[in-house]
Structures are given as structure tokens and as C-alpha cells.
A and B are shown apart, each in its own frame.
Chain A
């Protein structure tokens, strides 16, 4: 991995070459227009042509990358500044302008943080204590998921749901000094929703849960230790995202055991929150001996330099469930479906642009 990165870090595209290529592309596309694969009725021929076009594209792309890298190297050798590499236009970086994005110099934001429901936990005045329960009917994947959640979140306790109302459970948890209630909702034996209720008067977040992969279905998974995990929250930028991030933060203890080398990641991308749980390790390695991971590239490095050098590499091992969350609503106060007020609800009229995100 490392070797390739190094090359690509010095970057650039030569302008004239680019033009040439675009010319070529134009020619190609004009010829392509005459025989679009979709116009051919014979399936065998159609698929053959389709495969050929695909292959050509792939080759061209490879050639393009090669020439670009060569140009970069040349520029570096000549001591010139390589031309800046093009930044691909993605949905995220063409995101609609959002005025609710938090700014680091916003004093009202910090004052608001001071005053919100989680500040007692985040300032370590209160220890997080989590109650996990389920919907009324759960089986198979639900309990398995909960048992893994219990290993992920320290100081979490599973309580059987029984036939209690959720409001009663919230009341009970309040009396027992819990700081949050998590409800895993299953439908057709598959967990499909997650409800996080902050206590005593914190907000209630309702998530859709999808793509759940349990530990035993992950290849080469590790088993987490009992240490308090570190928490990584990525891309929670707006006010709403910030608040949600603080809600998630308040589930975990604020003093991680770094010795445990356990990390829980919640990565937000296009309003989907990806949950991952890893163990990491830093290893010092001599680059000459290629072990099972490095393979071809490392061998190449070794040939080029022929010196053993010590490098620190980080290795990750995934352990524990993998799932995706999407926020459906954030309710003001604890769980109350009939009389609740919402801080944010998803509404269909918000979905008028693919480039608008709320977190």
C-alpha cells in the first residue's frame, strides 16, 4: 500500500496530453454512437461488443493514469511543481450550501453545548449507564445483536422487555439512574430500527438500521476486550449532526483506555451513519520481509532499495457488529409518540435535491 501512495502523492496532469486524450475520446464516442450495444438485437454480439467497449475503456484509463504518473515524475525530476491533480466532483463536495453548518468560532454554539442535556456526562460529572431493551417480540438476530452491543458499549445492561410500555421503562430507567435507553426494534427476525433515548430529559433519536453484519459473519474478526473504547465521530457538521454526535458521545465513557486499542467509529456520509468497531495495533516492521499482508508491492520496494528499514504500520482488525444508521426523527424530550415535539423530522418535501444533507 505504502509504495503506491508515495507515488500518487506527487501528482499532476500535463495539459497537452490531456487535450490529446480528450480528442481521442471524442473520436471514439462518435464511432461509438453509430453502434451502441443497446441497438444490437443479437444478445451474443451485443454482449461481445459491450465487453470490448468496457475493456477498451479500462485500458484507456490505465494508460491515462500511467501517463499522468510519468508526467508527474518528470516534473519532479526537473524540479518543477507538478500541476495540481484534478479533484473529482462527488456528491459530497458539491453539497448544497448549508447555513446550519457549525463554525468553530461560534460562541453561541459553545454556550448551547454547555447548556444541553449531555454536558453533565461529557464533563464526566455523571457516568454513562445504558439500558438496552428490545421491542416486544424479538428472536434470533435481535438478541445476538444486543449481546454484541453489550460488548461494544461499556456499562450497558440488558433488560427483558416483557410487556411493559416504553414510557414505563423510561420511568424505571430514570429511577435507576440510567443515562440512556437503547431500544432495538426487530421486524421479521431482523433488527431494523434503533431508538436512543437520553435520560432524564434528553432527546430521543429514532434511526433506521440496515446492513447489519454480526461478528461471526465477519471474516478474520477479533474479539474485543473489556477496555473502554475510543470513539471516532466523522463528518457530523451541521447543528443537527453536532447534536446527534453529542448524543452518541454520551453513550460512551469519556475516559477511554488507550491500552485496550479498541476503537468505535461512527462515520457519517450522505446522512448515513456507518458503525464500525475495530482493534488496532501499531507494529514496527522491517520492510524486506514481506509477510502475508504487504505482498507484491513490498517486494518491489525491497528490490528498489535493498535496505531493510524500520517502519511503523497500523493494522486493523474488525470486531463486533457492522451496521448502518439513518436518522428518521429527533424528538424533544423522552419518548412520546402522541404528545411529542420534534426537533427534526424527515419530510418528503426535503428530498428535492440529492445534494442536500442534514447531518
Chain B
């Protein structure tokens, strides 16, 4: 008899994650406690177009004014609203007029969380870095409605490497320092305030056979949010290295991990655990103080890992890569929590930290699923109900369905979509007066 049952993965705590793929799509994955914590794709932004392949993404998670910046293959950098995917600003990254964007792709993008000095309130500051080493810091006016506002404000460009290719770029937690490294480029630290190089690494010595492995950094991460002095890097030569700029220019600790290049490195909040992902889909946790592997995350992960992100609150890790799956892992047990198949090769994943589980910003179909739970809520707690109506009013095609046993009210339900906003309130109050009325939103 074949085994027909499958092992169910335990669900996730409520979360919201954004993924970016090679067709330039941004997909929003949400998990809610109501649905048993099974993450689902709730929204998809953009049309599939390979020239708009996302290369890097960064997000400002502030409560009041969240923003999402996305760098695309055709050289465009777009600033989106991470709540609904509306395009705020789109600029074309043309640092040198002669360079084609395909030949000088953006590798790093950082959206500053704190406003930089001398900037107005409604501007956002971006740091971009291209393969050839052109780092640009620019501030852009963000207009809420129009998407046509061009790059205004200050922009400053400097070159971070003379030769070689930049492959990774990282900004520390205080947003004062930035780290660059790549193929043929030793990691170097720049002060963003003055745009000057303050430190660069030295290659490790030749080994006992006199063999020198060429420099090729593929990923970096700062260990601590408030400390720019310690950072880990992953190399193409499957080495993970810890650098401490206050100690020495050579790596403090370096250890090997498996046999394929390290593609992603991410730090934990505790400041000493790091997560490593490599080119053949192995994901592991390591303690960087000792350089010992804590354990691997096992679970049918078959494609190269491109991005690892730690959830800011829950003990949770998200990884994505070339196998097209977004996977969530428990940090403590290192067991998979769930996996979502997103069809394309994924480039990046970002958590939205101010996601509210109770908030019902779901599309219409999901609301219908929960209608049974909502039936009594309206009668008991009319305040929340009215709030919902207020929010729903903004969308067109609002529909109220009544179910009090009278048949003609079904027709009434569809007619109400055309009712004016002012009338909606009065109708709603009438509904509330009835005993046992069911008000549903769809």
C-alpha cells in the first residue's frame, strides 16, 4: 500500500515577506494565524519581463512611511510602496552615458532608513553599486501620486575599485559605513559621510604548497547592527571568513563550508550566529566565535541559495534561490516550517516587519473564506465593523451580503455596490439594528 499521507510542515507565525524574481515580479507572501500559518502568495506586482529582472532590493521598514527600492537589469531603480506595490519613483541609473546597463549591472542597493543630513522629509536616499565599482549615493524626492518625478536632489558618485568586479555590497546598521567586495577586489570599508576608504583587507597567505587562491568574495554581512568593525564574508572558494578591522587586515577566523561557493551569508540578531547558503543548496548555521558549524537546515532544498533573511522578531529564517521555492525555517530546531513554490528563480527575499496579523487587507476571495468567523463580530463589536466599512469603502465594488432568511435581500446585496458612500453608513446602521443579521464583506 503506498503511503498516501504526506508529512505536513508546521506553519509559520504571522509574517509578510516580499520576494523578487528573474522575471521582475514582486510577490507578497503572507502567513496568518487564522489560516494555520500556511504562507500564501497574496499579491503579485508587475508583469513578467526578463529585462526587468530584479538584481537587488532594499526596504525601509519604518512604521510611518515604508518604502521599497528595487534595482532592475535594464538599469532602472524603482521605489515602490511596499504595502500596495504602487510605483513612487522610477529613475534610470545612468552614471556613465556610454555604459550599457547590461554590461554594468547593479549589484548592491541600499535604501537608507534614517534621513541623511540636509535632506527634506519626503526624500529617500539610495546607495547603489554596480559591477564596475561605481557607487552612487543619491537622494530622491518621493511624490506620492505621480510616478514621473525624476531624480532630483543631490547625487554623488565615486569609484570603489580600480579593477575587478564588485559582487557584494553591504551597509552597516548605523548606516555610516559600507562594505564592498568582489571578484579580484578585497573587501574594503568606506565611510559614507566622507566617501573615503577607511580600511581594506589583505589576502590570506599562500598555503603550505605555495598555492594562492585568487580573491573572489561573493557575499558579506555585518555581525552586529551597531558595530561596523566586525563582518563575515563568503568566498567563491567555499570559505567563510570573519574580519575585524580593529584587529588585523587578514581574516580573524576562516573556515571551509562544503564544496560549492558560498552564495549568501546572513547574521543573526545575537551577533555571533551566522547563516550560510551555498551554490548547491546547502544551508547551515555556524557560530562565528569558534568557527564551528552548529548544524545544517535539511529539507529537500535542491537549488543554489541566493538570499537568506532573518525575521526581525520571530525565530525564523527565510531562504530562496534558484529552485524557485521560498522556504521558512525554524532557527532553534533547524526544521523547515513551510515552503512556497514561486515558479521562477528567486533573487531576493525581504521581511516586512510591521505586518499586523489582525489587519484584514486581504483581497476579496480570502475574505469570503472567513465569512463564518465574521458573522457575529459585527453585531457584538460594531466599532470594528464600521472601521472595516470605512476602509473597504475606498475600493470599488463594495458588497454587503445579508442573510436573515429573506430572499429578496440577496438582490439588495448586489445593488448596494452602487450605493453612494454617504448612504453606506446609514444602511449599515439599519443593518445593525436587526436581530441576528449577518453582514459580510466581499
Q: Name A's B-contacting residues (CB within 8 A).
A: 89, 91, 94, 96-97, 99-100, 106-109, 111-112, 114-115, 239, 332, 338-347, 349-350, 353, 355
Main secondary structure of the interface of B (DSSP, over half): loop
B166 at the interface (CB under 8 A from A): no
Closest to A107 in B: B48
Q: Which residue in chain B gives the minimum CB-CB distance to A332?
A: B322
| CB of B225 within 8 Å of the partner chain | no
Which one of B25, B263, B324 lies within 8 Å of A239 (CB-CB)?
Answer: B324
Q: Indicate if the CB atoms of A349 and B261 lie closer than 8 Å.
A: no
CB pair B343–A343 under 8 Å, yes or no, is no
Which residues on the A side are within 8 Å of B302 (C-beta)?
342, 344-347, 350
Known: A111-B50, A338-B261. 19 other contacts (CB 8 A): A89-B2, A94-B4, A97-B6, A106-B343, A108-B48, A109-B343, A111-B23, A111-B48, A114-B50, A115-B23, A115-B48, A239-B324, A332-B304, A341-B263, A341-B279, A344-B302, A345-B280, A349-B299, A355-B3
Cα–Cα, bound, A341→B347 (Å): 13
Name the contact of A349 in the complex, choosing from B236, B300, B304 (C-beta under 8 A): B300
Q: Mark B279-306, 1 if CB is under 8 A from A, else 0.
A: 1110000000000000000111011100
Q: Are A115 and B345 in contact (CB under 8 A)?
A: no
Tell me the nearest residue of chain B to A358, going by C-beta: B302
Interface size on B, residues (CB 8 A): 32
Nearest CB of chain B from residue A352's CB, rounded to whole Å: 9
A339 touching B23 in the complex, CB below 8 Å, given contacts A239-B343, A344-B302? no
Contacting residues of chain B (248-271) with chain A, CB-CB under 8 angstroms = 260-261, 263
Sorted nearest first, the 7 A-B pairs with minimum C-beta distance are: A115-B50, A111-B48, A341-B304, A341-B279, A94-B2, A343-B322, A99-B341
In the complex the two chains form, what is the Cα distance from A99 to B50 in whole Å? 23
- Known contacts A341-B263, A349-B299, A112 near B344 by CB under 8 Å: yes
Residue contact B298 to A349, C-beta cutoff 8 Å: yes
B23 x A350 contact (CB < 8 A): no
Given contacts A108-B344, A111-B48, A239-B343, contact A341 B260 (CB under 8 A): yes
Cβ–Cβ contact B2 & A355, under 8 A:
yes
| Bound form: Cα–Cα A339–B341 in Å | 26
Nearest A residue to B44 via CB reads A108
**27 A-B contact pairs sorted by A residue (CB < 8 Å):** A99-B341, A107-B48, A108-B343, A111-B23, A112-B48, A115-B22, A115-B48, A239-B324, A239-B343, A332-B304, A332-B322, A338-B236, A338-B237, A338-B261, A339-B279, A340-B260, A341-B260, A341-B261, A341-B304, A342-B279, A342-B280, A343-B323, A344-B303, A345-B281, A345-B303, A349-B298, A350-B300
Q: How far is the CB of B190 from chain A (nearest CB, A)?
A: 26
The CA of A338 and the CA of B237, in the complex, are separated in Å by 7
Give Cα distance in the complex from A355 to B18, angstroms: 33
CB of B65 within 8 A of chain A? no
Cα–Cα, bound, A96→B323 (Å):
18
Q: In the assembled complex, which residues on chain A have CB atoms less than 8 Å from the CB atom of B344?
A: 108, 112
The chain B residue sitting closest to A102, CB to CB, is: B343
A342 in contact with B322 given A99-B341, A349-B299, A350-B300 (CB within 8 Å): yes
Measured CA separation A111–B50 after assembly (Å): 8
Using an 8 Å CB-CB cutoff, how does the interface string of B321-357 with A read, 1 for contact, 0 for none? Answer: 0111000000000000000010111000000000000
Residue of A at shortest CB range from B51? Answer: A115
Which residues of chain B from 1 to 24 have any CB-CB distance to chain A below 8 Å in the complex? Answer: 2-4, 6, 22-23
Measured in the bound complex, the distance between the Cα atoms of B279 and A94 in whole Å is 32
Inter-subunit contact B48/A342 (CB<8 Å):
no
